[in-house]
Amino acid sequence: MDVELKELLGPFLILLAIATSLVSMGIIRVSHPLLHIANRWLRWVLVAILFALLFQRPDWAGEARPFLLLFLIAFLAWFLLETMVNWVKISSFNRSEYPLFPKYRLNQDGDEWPVHPAAIKIKDWLAANEFTKEQSLKFGSGESFVLRTSFYQDPEGTCRIQIHFLPPNPSGRTMFFAISTQMEDGTRCVTDNISMPFAIYVPEKWDMVRKPLLLSLNKLIALHESRVESLAKTPLPWETEPVNDLDDQRRMLEQVNLSQGVLHPVDYHEEYGRLTSEGRYRMWKEMWLLSYLGRPLSPRPLKVN
């Protein structure tokens, strides 16, 4: 590459790489997940280009090193570096006290809804469309990490919306939605936009679809209703209270993931952590898929002979 061009491009590329890092750390706020995905790809390519420009010097024979080769080496090195960082995060989570399936309690502290515009807009939309609140739940205390969630149902009582309120985070997301409908044959149809890498399996009777790039609650409900209609089954009104239903879900998910080899039995947690090697691998793979493609792994369980 021409020396003058390298001198012109260098400072610009460095500033751009710094900007992408600031976005990744949440210092520069962007809210849509597609922008975060584009930012990660841009940062990856910029790091590889800057490395190639920095080390494209003449060798002992006086010939410049191939730019493409240096770019590919740096591209692979970034993949390995980010893999190491992700494995450290997974290992830390695996041995932490934070539960995979939190046990919620009734939230009677009066802090169910955050006081930011996006949450207020969703609350007004639910009221305008005749959704009624069933319960507000909470996990954690004021001195630790706190999760809040609220449940709403449509007038027929067949469509239940769970709203997960998120603490401040670099992604800029403030809420996740999970919409559930139970059928007369025991099937549970679930549509959500959760973008966290759970990497777990769900029971066979759960027909679950995750759309982490779909932010609109209105569009997510329309998708869910279309899926329910395509099942050609009769929906049943919800009779179980959300807090009890979450406890049932937690027990079922633990059982399914134990049988699928994703979780260790409780007796093994102290020595090996909660996730098996298969579970850690699934989480690592889903972290990559969500970060760079916006796609989760399939939650459908494998057949166990």
Q: How confident is the model at residue 7 (pLDDT cuts 50, 70, 90)?
A: low
Is residue 206 classed as helix, strand or coil in its secondary structure? strand
Higher per-residue pLDDT: 109 or 74: 74
Q: Is the separation of the CB atoms in 27 and 284 below 8 Å?
A: no
| pLDDT one-digit tens code per residue, 45-61 | 999 999 888 887 655 54
**Percentages (nearest 5) of helix, strand, coil residues in the chain:** 45, 15, 40
Q: Mean pLDDT for the chain? A: 89
Q: What do you get for the CA distance between the two ends of the chain, in Å?
A: 59
Instruction: Give me 170's structure tokens.
Output: 């670099």
Q: Is the separation of the CB atoms in 152 and 133 below 8 Å?
A: yes
Task: Report the pLDDT value the prediction gives residue 144, as an integer from 0 to 100.
Answer: 64
Least trusted range by pLDDT, from 25-29, 175-179, 203-207, 226-230: 25-29
Q: Full-prediction pTM beyond 0.85? A: yes
Q: Is 178 exposed, middle or buried (0-12, 13-18, 19+ CB in 10 A)?
A: buried
Residue range 288-301: average pLDDT?
91
Higher per-residue pLDDT: 137 or 26: 137
Is residue 188 classed as helix, strand or coil in its secondary structure? strand
Task: Report the pLDDT value the prediction gives residue 273, as an integer from 0 to 100.
Answer: 94
Measure the CA–CA gap between 202 and 302, rounded to whole angstroms.
10
Measure the CA–CA gap between 136 and 163, rounded to whole angstroms.
9
Whether the pLDDT of residue 1 is over 80: the answer is: no
Residue range 67-80: average pLDDT?
94
